[in-house]
A = this chain, B = another copy of it.
Amino acid sequence: MAPDAVMAEAELSLPEAMAGCAQRVEQALEALLALPEGAEARLTEAMRYATLGGGKRLRAFLAMQGAALFAVSETCAARVAAAIEMLHAYSLVHDDLPAMDDDDLRRGRPSTHRAFDEATAILAGDALQTRAFEVLAEPDTHSDPQTRCELVAALGAAAGCRGMAGGQMIDMLAQGAPLTQAEIVRLQALKTGRLIQFSAEAGAILGRAPWPQRQSLAGYGRDLGAAFQIADDLLDALGSTEETGKTAGKDAAAGKATLVAILGPERARAQAELLAEQAASHLDGFGRRADLLRRLAAYVVSRRS
């Protein structure tokens, strides 16, 4: 996207910009998850069910806005955003399984193992992860293979046993053995933070940005992810199932320690707001072009669903 287009987009309201991005990523996902012939099509149907038509597309928005800062083509950015959303969708499908969080509801609809069956949900999560890496490695994602390799390796590091999956492991082990505040912060940095950080950083990787700018976006993503998670826990503790499209109160029911439980809602909200401000401060070097990302930081702690 040319700098002018970035400026024009910065004039959009955040909800308009997020809706536009969600629509763009939906198109990319539609194309990348085309149904094959044969009986195996049922697997792609489950992958599409788990991925299409839902969610705020926060991670996709981060990737596309980050990429726009470096004038990356929207087509390339949308593929990376779609790959991240597939990776995220895989993690949700597996988290919802009976052996994991056992959740029947996701984005206001039956979770994938309820809409299909458990075996299909396991396989659909598996194949979504595969497709995410495959898409990043394909030539259409970026003309420079070095850039594509960096995307694959960085997503792998964010999603694997030292990142998202490692965080989920800690979360599971913590059920029944309460964590300290520091342990919760670390758990959340791994479980949700690393992928959100990667989403923000991906734009800089795609744009072959100088290292300090890539670090700025990574720092923004890290703090934004932490703020987002506290806000999510607040919504779970205080919101309704109807508003959030997810089963409300499930953290407390599962005996999960969250910062909200330890700090209480007011101090937790203050902490989330502090982190959101800190996130925005990483963007100082980008001028007005980063306005939407700044507004996003304020939004993630004020949202009601």
Contacts from A to B (Cβ < 8 Å): 36, 38-40, 42-44, 47, 90, 94, 97, 99-100, 117-120, 122-123, 125-127, 129-131, 133-139, 144-146, 148-150, 152-153, 156-157, 159-162, 165-170, 172-174, 186, 190
Nearest-neighbor residue (CB-CB) of A40 within chain B: B166
Given contacts A39-B169, A122-B100, A153-B138, contact A161 B44 (CB under 8 A): yes
A sample of 23 inter-chain contacts (CB < 8 A) reads A38-B186, A39-B173, A39-B174, A40-B161, A40-B162, A99-B117, A99-B122, A120-B169, A120-B172, A122-B122, A123-B169, A129-B129, A129-B130, A130-B161, A133-B133, A134-B152, A135-B156, A137-B137, A137-B150, A137-B152, A138-B149, A144-B145, A148-B149
**Residues in B whose Cβ lies below 8 Å from that of A120:** 169, 172
Given contacts A40-B190, A149-B145, A173-B39, contact A165 B126 (CB under 8 A): yes
Known: A130-B165, A137-B137, A137-B152. 5 other contacts (CB 8 A): A43-B166, A99-B117, A122-B122, A126-B129, A131-B160
Main SS class of interface, A: helix
**Residues in B whose Cβ lies below 8 Å from that of A129:** 126, 129-130
Given contacts A131-B160, A137-B156, A152-B133, contact A123 B42 (CB under 8 A): no
| Inter-chain contact B94/A122, CB cutoff 8 Å | yes
Contact among B125, B134, B168, B186 with A156 in the assembled complex (CB-CB below 8 Å): B134
Rounded to whole angstroms, the CA-CA distance of A100 and B124 in the bound complex is 13
Contact among B40, B159, B169, B186 with A170 in the assembled complex (CB-CB below 8 Å): B40
Contact among B117, B123, B139, B174 with A165 in the assembled complex (CB-CB below 8 Å): B123
**Residues in B whose Cβ lies below 8 Å from that of A117:** 99
Nearest-neighbor residue (CB-CB) of A172 within chain B: B119
Rounded to whole angstroms, the CA-CA distance of A43 and B173 in the bound complex is 10
**Residues in B whose Cβ lies below 8 Å from that of A160:** 127, 130-131, 134
**Residues in B whose Cβ lies below 8 Å from that of A99:** 117-119, 122
Rounded to whole angstroms, the CA-CA distance of A120 and B117 in the bound complex is 20
**Residues in B whose Cβ lies below 8 Å from that of A170:** 38-40
